Amino acid sequence: MTRHRQRTKALSRRGFLSGTTCNLLASASLAHAEHHSASLTLPFLWGAATSGYQTEGNSTNADIWLLEQVNGTIFKEHSGSADDFYACYRQDIALAASLGLNSFRFSIEWSRIEPEQGTISHEAIAHYQDMLRACHENNLAPCVTYSHFACPRWFAASGGWESPDAADHFLRYCELSSRSFGHLISVASVFNEPNLHKLILHANPLSDRAKTTMLAQAARACHSPTFSYYLSGDPQRVEAAMISAWRRAYDVIRSGPGQYPLGLTLAMTDDQAIGDPAARDHKRAEIYDAWLYACREKGDFIGVQVYTRSLTGPHGTVPPPAGSHSTTMGWEFYPECVEGACRYAASVSQRPVIVTENGVATDNDSERQDYIRRAITSLERAVADGIDIRGYYHWSFLDSFEWAAGYRPLMGLISVDPKTKKRTPKPSAFLLRNLCPKKSMIWQL
């Protein structure tokens, strides 16, 4: 009862940066899992993450919706009604709160806010405002992503991030969203994994070829000479355009309303060197550093999103050791990846870290529980060594649409019946609750 009367507030940016909010938990009594030592502090934002496109369903004005439908698509199946989260958000948010989380990460979908260029949907604005209010009513600090991969179809057809006008289009959306939602946001990131294209190309330099037909078909469907989504274009040029947009977006959003911590999230692996670290260091510099430095220059936190490790020898990537096993995404099961990635991100960016995504694709929930225990234990090692980690979000809250891989990889703490959309929390959801800091959160203004 008391719990429901409490209201979360925006985290104070000054308090966040000076670490005062973090200290509040340093003295908190923690619900320790059997293996936890009493002296360690846990991160203070404790949540689960989602994205709009992957859960809401029927995102018909998004670029990816079209890419799913065209001949030559690389998507295994259609997203369709997804988890029907656009309709079920109030129940889902209440469910997240009942699992003892104190924060909930989701994205605002640009293609819903601005379905056609220059046309604003007031219904969508009211919808996301209500989602934010629902988080506060349930004592969950909303962690908002302004752009989680999917963009409006019209943006892709005008050249996406390859177009010289891209930043101006995006900035207008940021300004409108910040004005409409800022007073209700607790923490936010501008982009989700803007470095993902580079990371994928590093792992598989030929992966772009498969997309050519799909993109040509999408351009044709839009009667446009081009169609460019988040995984297309020259990665170097797109990165430069997005970094410049990030700097401007930071200022636009920072000018208010709301004074919440604003950062970036990056797609990372825990990059471990076998022997001479030079090749590994080169990889890190190439894939992360431009963004880590951009965040260091202007950013309140760096969001680390990590699922596995990657081994690099003097001549390039080395396969996982014999005896290791793969998740259903085909990635090595290696929960400790979170520790190494946080250490690197913190050391280069010199910003506080929030683990904005970490999780595992598996049909076996015992494996997920094992993953969570080991990941948190490794995170605690980093915290004990003084790495400034302010939060942990498990990916994902719900089993959801895993982009090109479709619905098969199950990453959720909660299963969703594809027909009835009935939600069933898995034991891993309760495990996360048990690891959560017990003391109520105190949000500072």
Q: What is the DSSP letter of 318?
A: E
- Residue placing its CB nearer to ligand BGC in the complex, 52 or 160: 52
- Residue placing its CB nearer to ligand BGC in the complex, 360 or 441: 360
Query: Residue 264's Cα: distance from chain center in Å?
Result: 9
- Residue 355 to residue 342: CA distance in whole angstroms: 8
At which residue do the structure tokens 């929960």 appear?
A: 335
Q: What is the DSSP letter of 39?
A: T
Smallest separation (angstroms) from ligand BGC to the CB of 395: 6
- Residue placing its CB nearer to ligand BGC in the complex, 45 or 125: 45
Q: Is 332 a catalytic residue?
A: no
Smallest separation (angstroms) from ligand BGC to the CB of 38: 33
Whose CA is closest to 330, among 356, 310, 315?
310
Smallest separation (angstroms) from ligand BGC to the CB of 316: 22
- Residue 162 to residue 176: CA distance in whole angstroms: 23
**Could you give the C-alpha distances from 197 to 267, 306, 331, 360, in angstroms and in order?**
9, 15, 17, 20
Buried b (16+ CB within 10 A) or exposed e, 357-394: bbbbbbeebebbbbbbbbbbbbbbebbeeebbbbbbbb
> Angle, to 10 degrees, between the axis of helix 166-181 and the axis of helix 235-254?
30
- Residue placing its CB nearer to ligand BGC in the complex, 189 or 377: 189
- Residue placing its CB nearer to ligand BGC in the complex, 114 or 193: 193
Strands 262-273 and 187-192: parallel
- Residue placing its CB nearer to ligand BGC in the complex, 198 or 443: 198
Catalytic residue among 109, 114, 193, 239: 193
Smallest separation (angstroms) from ligand BGC to the CB of 396: 6
At which residue do the structure tokens 């295994």 appear?
A: 76
Residues that bind ligand BGC (CB under 6 A): 51, 54, 192-193, 196, 267, 305, 357, 395, 402
Smallest separation (angstroms) from ligand BGC to the CB of 265: 7
What is the distance between the terminal CA atoms of the chain, rounded to a whole angstrom?
23
Token pair, residue 415, equals 């299963």
- Residue placing its CB nearer to ligand BGC in the complex, 80 or 314: 80
φ, ψ of residue 320 to 5 degrees: the values are -60, 155
Whose CA is closest to 424, among 415, 433, 435?
415
The answer to whether the CB of 264 falls within 8 A of the CB of 188 is no
Smallest separation (angstroms) from ligand BGC to the CB of 228: 19
- In sequence order, the 6+-apart residues with CB closer than 8 A to the CB of 5 are none
Smallest separation (angstroms) from ligand BGC to the CB of 357: 6
Smallest separation (angstroms) from ligand BGC to the CB of 342: 16
Token pair, residue 319, equals 């396969």
- Residue placing its CB nearer to ligand BGC in the complex, 51 or 102: 51
- Residue 120 to residue 111: CA distance in whole angstroms: 10
Token pair, residue 12, equals 């104070």
- Residue 372 to residue 374: CA distance in whole angstroms: 6
The answer to whether the CB of 79 falls within 8 A of the CB of 68 is yes
Instruction: Provide the annotated active-site residues.
Output: 193
